[in-house]
Structure 1
């Protein structure tokens, strides 16, 4: 897939563009039962739960890749105003959405 620019800014310096429309990348991730038990034990003593941090990093990466794919499918050159949204579906599942505006350079 073509690598396209994804930015959180509204403007891209030196570029003029036409708006194509909104694009999204969605994913839901969970950890296996063994890692959930380990996370529960870590919860007793406090501190970072590294397996869950890694799960969120993976979910973010998948969401951005799907956002890029959606933009490429629409013929975009870039995505501006990219944002993330995330939420818990259950105690061990997280959903992540990456969304933004697909644009075509003039």
Structure 2
């Protein structure tokens, strides 16, 4: 597995900027659209659970689970961007992730933030 299997985030081609900050340097907010989110729920795979249990006996990173979580977060982020774009936003401010257990059968990952329209400062 390469480093790209363990990371995420936007590509340079994205038309919706997503940041974890309250503002974007050099830009001002023209319009606040409101909260947007992208949600996905992943079930646990029995094989990965067994492998994780065995790995926990000796210690170390659970690479299969790490890769799955990265894929899950990226999917939630893609859905966040789709929702922001469909509502007319070109940016999402204060993006965060929330991860919770979903009824003991999976993991819920939610990417959320504030959809806005930004423009360069004149």
TM-score where L is the length of structure 2: 0.77
Consecutive unaligned residues in structure 2, runs of 5 or more:
1-13
* Residue of structure 2 in register with 1:98 after alignment: 111
Kindly provide the CA deviation profile for residues 29-70 of structure 1, in whole angstroms up to 9, marking residues without a partner as x.
234222222112112222211111111101110011000001
CA distance in 1, matches of 2:71, 2:110: 12
CA distance in 1, matches of 2:57, 2:21: 40
- After TM superposition, the score normalised by the length of structure 1 is 0.88
> Which residue, 74, 77, 87 being the options, matches 1:74?
87
Q: State the partner residue of 1:54.
A: 67
TM-align CA RMSD: 1.6
1:37 corresponds in structure 2 to: 50
Residue 81 (structure 1) shift: 0.6
Matches of 2:106 and 2:64 in 1, distance apart?
12
Residue pair 1:85, 1:97 contacting (<8 A) in 2 also: yes
Corresponding residue for residue 18 of structure 2: 6
Secondary structure of residue in 1 paired with 2:89: coil
